A and B are shown apart, each in its own frame.
Chain A
Amino acid sequence: MVRRIEKAAVIGSGIMGGGIAALLADAGVETLLFDIVPFNLTDEEKKDPKARYRIVQAGFDNMMKAKPALIMDKSNASRISLCNLEDDFDKLKDCDLIVEVVVENLKIKQELFQKIDKIRKPTAVVTSNTSGLPLKEMSKNCSDAFKEHFMGTHFFNPVRYMHLLELIPGEKTKKEVLDFIAEFGEKRLGKGIVWAKDTPNFIGNRIGVHEIMTVMQLLESEGITIDEVDAIMGPAMGRPKTAVFKLSDMVGLDTIHHLAENSYELLKNDERRDVYKVPAWFNKMIENKWLGDKTKQGFYKKEKTADGKKLSLVLDPAKLEYREAAKPEFESVSAAKKLPTAAEKIKAIVWGNDKAAKFAWKLSALGAIYAANRIPEIADSIVEIDNAMTWGYNLELGPFQAWDAIGVKESVERMEKEGMKVPENVKKMLASGATSFYKVENGKEFYYDLVNGGYKEIKKSAAAISLFNLKGAGKEIKKNESVSLIDLGDDVFCIEFHTKMNAINGQIVDFIADATDFVLKNGAGIVIGNQAGGMPGAFSAGGDLAYMGSLAKEKKWSEIDKFIANVHAGLMKAKYAPIPVVAAPYGMTLGGGCEVCLNADRIVAHSELYMGLVEIGAGLLPGGLGMLNLWKKYIKSVPKAAKITDLAGLFLPCFMAVAQAQVTMSAFEAQKKGFLTAKDRVVFNRDLLIGEAKKEVLRMIDEGYAPPKKEKFVVIGREAMGMVEAEMLNMRIGMYITPHMEFIAKKIAFVMSGGDVPSGTEITEEQWMKQEREAFVELWQTENTQKMAAHILQTGKPLFI
């Protein structure tokens, strides 16, 4: 039997339900979004469809309005139909996947599943997005056939952005169903799959809530404040800025309260059950409806003083009063922030001597011990727990990875000295001679199996390629400090940038040309991609301004000209080489990074793609043929048989994209803006991106790849300048543009128009490149461009002059 999800239903239109429906719609699945008919309708309203669909409509509207956006492209929402559970319940019988996301009430869920059991089609998979209730209980009154198709799919909020998807097998779920949903989740929805067990709060929230409740306990015993905790447990410990309490305010304190109570209730044998006993002051907060961001006050509260100044207040739990939040500083934290990696930061803090260090140690130690004790209770391996915490809570290192960073042996000694009970399985590991939870050998990653002992290889999806592992296995053919060439196998080679934010510098430019030569001799095709990680991460945040800035300072204009000529030559070589070049962008793909992609023969992009030609913010125009390639994508989208009457209709969006430094908010938006064409692909799972790009190269070769032919192309010419000059007057008087930005915008327009030729003229690439180079140098020659470039280098923000 071939399983396929053509139609899905999401029952419950709250923040999670709406987010799941949006993701399904983005992934191309027809989705029915359900919610209840309001309870309190008048007799008249009961006949009014508007009233009957009020709740699901509101849920849908909230999803569409959410910021950051939950749906990648609003037009994808046409795949979502709104339903209510009374009038449309029958429609569930056509669904291949039914995801339950209703209120966390066991009885309601049980009744819902019994009803679904009666009408679902025999192959339909039914899942619950519960964050803590036992699956076994929920499905207990259902048929065996239902149970065979029933499992947990636990998404994290916000669904679009959080990589984690916990899958929980039910007691009777068929393996084939589990495999199918795992593949669907990984490939179509792009999630990182973690296998959890049917235990309360599963993995992420079990570990996460334990930590929050531990912190609450430590507030008193360690005499530490809420804002102090957040100052320690943020980026300095390899975690998001929201740290502990700001995150809690975002999640909703009622949710955390519920999870804690649920844990206390259900985890009767947990060695730290007492930590889940909600402190009285926290109960009081819930009573007061201080639920966090949604009620505008929680652990933090924002206020405006009489004179309009914004005040950030923080709760003093002992008094249940707010006071002005401080910006606590600790020596250990400040020192750690200067270190390059999360592992070094964590190690530095935990082994420090101040109050912050003591707290960080205690919390880390208690967390690590708790996590080790959870194996095999909640997961079979440490990998699942670390993945859950890195993907679901955006920690840079999960508890075991952090433990490795701290040093397992040393920390165990300290734990014992301080009277903490070290888990037996960890003691056994140390006794066996293994001193870390993870190790890399010959490019392969291994984890320590706490259940059976010994190291095991980490199994990744077959489609996933790890550049890190390939490098470890000696597949790095060439390298310098900025960029590497890695053999992906099957004669496909990957050009991997590894500068800060993967900014493109002179070394990379030269390397691309050399690598092309190498692959021409020794290979079949090229992937340009990297796996720098981060959220959303940066394929490449742009060109390295420092180099050209220093040339400009010394007025070495001919060298800038030469550099750009060199860039153009390299790009042209790659473009017309008889081998396919596929770019694999993700996250921030800006400026030069965007230009590299636009020059590739094809793009295989991650769905989270923040792409744009943003050079104007640095006082420049794109100097790497980004404009040429964007313009060509536009004119080539119209068949030659059709006469383009209005070239301005194509010119204006191209010009505006560059002059306004527009950045796409998803790969779908990049399609709309013409950065991606119909041939380019969108991949939802970033971990699979390099693998998919490699497949694309092989497919292109298999289909008989021939390079594009070199030919003249049509431009709008001088007519564009008439329009732009006229419009700039309006923008100037309307105070929408500053003088130097106007100057740059006109240069952009000139290059994008193809120059001073009549509309419809066909020009050569050489003419375009000459004009682009000249305009680029002319900009550098202005003092204002030098100022703008220096400003963005120093501050990361554009200077509007």
Chain B
Amino acid sequence: MRDAYIVQAVRTPGCRRGKGAFAQTRPEDLLVTALQGLMERAKVDKKVVEDVMVGCAFPEAEQGLNVGRIAALMAGFPIDTCGATVNRFCSSGLEAIAIQAMRIQAGWADVAIGGGLESMSIVPMGGNMPRPHPYWAKQKPDVYISMGITAENVANRYKITRQQQDEFGYHSQMKAAEAQKNKMFDEIVPTKAVKYVPQPDGTLKKEEFIQDFDDGVRPDTTLEGLAKLKPAFAAFGSVTAGNSSQTTDGAAAALIMSEEACRKYGVKPLVKIVAYTVAGVEPDEMGVGPAYAIPKLLKMTGKDMKDIGLFEINEAFASQAIYCAQQLGIADPKEWTVDSKTRRINVNGGAIALGHPLGCTGAKLAAQLVNMMVKKGVKYGVESMCIGGGMGAAALFELVEKW
């Protein structure tokens, strides 16, 4: 089997649903920016790309009709470059990268793009027309359960307190604020966006602008402030807007090549895609997914937790992120707090601060992780997330040190 490499990985900023910078920008346009930025940075001709696979959790309406193919053409790829859309909810972006890696490993392709896209402003979570099956919903509705309720279930079943969740949320914000200050997010492509601005005469004017930072980071977050928030999903619950991921808009993409292709086009790869796996869990506590997917991944690859230098574990909710860290034996504050220089988990903050654009997240976290592995010279990095419907996904990346 051949090896597959990520030679470049980029993302747009993540911007808040409804109120953020991308709320009025078409999702395809975000993806076009990511694809074009990717190719510019990789310095590889678009025409050598055989396929673009895009993860999207709600591939309908503006994100429907196979947005993977449409955006590729919009981004200036030739008609020879194919396109597809893939959905595994929150791991969709990583799924797309994994599928392309497997194609290359199998020898079915040499150059491909895996990416992700979600405009939660434009296509709402749950989709425009959610239609659970009436009889299955009556029999066993958990597969349709609200994500917030799964987070409450995790908190209740595994005794994750409100205070623990708020602390975790606070550190996510602080890490993200520090990273923004220190300009750590090199993987961001400045992104063209539009807004429709009311004019004094009552008309709306379309204005174009460039957005180059994640707009949900709140450096002024305090523990006291977080403690005051009301539960968002359950009358007497502990999960709040402050300890949950932000719903955001964004796109991300990674260019994946075989070794032969890298040599042919004179490109030095960044990381090797070692393995990807998924694990099934109870739908009503889907947040525990990484606690099952990561051990499965490590076993598969013969690695140990201590071999891993960096983790990107998606912070869908603080309750599940804490629980997973506990199960993985990395819950010690030195692994995740802003004051710890040796932290390994979500070193630049996670989705509580930076947002979780569902189908984009897998590709977005890959871009963040690869960037930090290269920056810090970390040998092994793991990306993982929980998935609605009751799953976890995890992938192992290995830094290419010698080429």
Contact = CB atoms under 8 A, between A and B. Distances in A.
Interface of A: 645-646, 648, 718-723, 725-726, 728-730, 733-736, 756, 759
Contacts of B146: 730
Contact of B134 (A718, A730, A734): A718
Contacts of B144: 726, 729
B141 A725 contact: yes
A734 B235 contact: yes
B187 interface: no
B266 interface: no
Interface string B119-161: 0000000001111111011100110111011001100000000
B237 interface: yes
19 contacts: A646-B128, A648-B131, A720-B134, A722-B131, A722-B136, A723-B132, A725-B137, A726-B130, A726-B145, A729-B149, A730-B145, A730-B146, A730-B148, A733-B145, A733-B149, A734-B149, A734-B233, A734-B237, A736-B235
A728 B129 CA distance: 18
B131 A730 contact: no
B234 to A, nearest CB: 4
B129 A735 contact: no
Contacts of B237: 734
B137 A722 contact: yes
B108 interface: no
Given A726-B144, A729-B142, A646 B129 contact: yes
A648 B129 contact: yes
Nearest to B152: A733
Contacts of A734: 149, 152, 233-235, 237
B141 A735 contact: no
B138 A729 contact: no
A42 B142 CA distance: 62
Given A721-B138, A725-B138, A725-B141, A730 B233 contact: yes
Given A729-B144, A730-B145, A734-B152, A723 B235 contact: no
Closest 8 CB pairs of A and B: A726-B144, A734-B234, A722-B132, A725-B137, A722-B134, A721-B134, A726-B132, A730-B146
B394 to A, nearest CB: 28
Contacts of A726: 130, 132, 137, 141, 144-145
Nearest to B143: A726
Nearest to B129: A646
Contacts of A719: 131, 134
Interface string B218-254: 0000000000000001111100000000000000000
Contact of B131 (A723, A728, A729, A733): A723
Interface residues of B, number: 24
A715 to B, nearest CB: 13
Contact of A733 (B132, B136, B138, B234): B234
B233 A721 contact: no
A718 B138 CA distance: 11
Q: Looking at A718, A726, A729, which has the most chain B CB atoms within 10 Å of its CB?
A: A726
Contact of A722 (B128, B133, B145, B149): B133
Contacts of A756: 134
Contact of A723 (B130, B142, B234, B236): B130
B153 A735 contact: no
Nearest to B144: A726
B129 A725 contact: no
Contacts of B153: 733
Contact of A725 (B134, B149, B235, B236): B134
A726 B144 CA distance: 6
A645 B138 CA distance: 24
Given A648-B131, A720-B134, A725-B134, 16 more contacts: A646-B129, A718-B134, A721-B137, A721-B138, A722-B133, A722-B134, A722-B136, A723-B130, A725-B132, A726-B145, A730-B148, A730-B233, A733-B152, A733-B153, A733-B234, A734-B237
A648 B130 CA distance: 9
A281 to B, nearest CB: 44
Contacts of A720: 134
A728 B144 CA distance: 11
Most buried by A among B129, B233, B235, B237: B129
A735 B141 CA distance: 16
A719 to B, nearest CB: 5
A733 B231 CA distance: 13
Contacts of A728: 141
Contacts of B134: 718-722, 725, 756
B198 to A, nearest CB: 14
User: For A648, A730, A759, which residue has the most chain B Cβ atoms within 10 angstroms?
Assistant: A730
Nearest to B234: A734
A723 to B, nearest CB: 6
Contacts of A725: 132, 134, 137-138, 141
A25 to B, nearest CB: 19
- Point out which of A720, A721, A728, A759 has the most chain B C-beta atoms below 10 A from its C-beta: A721
A735 B235 contact: yes
Contact of A729 (B130, B133, B145): B145
A756 B134 CA distance: 9
A726 B138 CA distance: 7
A719 B233 CA distance: 24
A564 B130 CA distance: 34
A730 B149 contact: yes
A719 B142 CA distance: 17
B271 to A, nearest CB: 39
B230 to A, nearest CB: 12
B127 to A, nearest CB: 11
Contacts of A729: 141-142, 144-145, 149
A463 B8 CA distance: 80
Contacts of B148: 730
Contacts of B136: 722
B12 to A, nearest CB: 29
Nearest to B231: A734
A725 B134 CA distance: 7
A728 B136 CA distance: 14
Nearest to A724: B137
Contacts of A733: 145, 149, 152-153, 234
A162 to B, nearest CB: 36
A572 B64 CA distance: 45
Nearest to A736: B235
Interface string B154-182: 00000000000000000000000000000
Contacts of A722: 131-134, 136-137
Contacts of A645: 129
Nearest to B136: A722
A722 B141 CA distance: 9
A416 B152 CA distance: 77
A736 B233 CA distance: 9
Contacts of B131: 648, 719, 722-723, 759
A586 B152 CA distance: 44
A648 B233 CA distance: 22
Contacts of B142: 729
B284 to A, nearest CB: 8
B133 to A, nearest CB: 6
A734 B138 CA distance: 18
Nearest to A734: B234
A756 B141 CA distance: 18
Contacts of B234: 733-736
A649 to B, nearest CB: 9
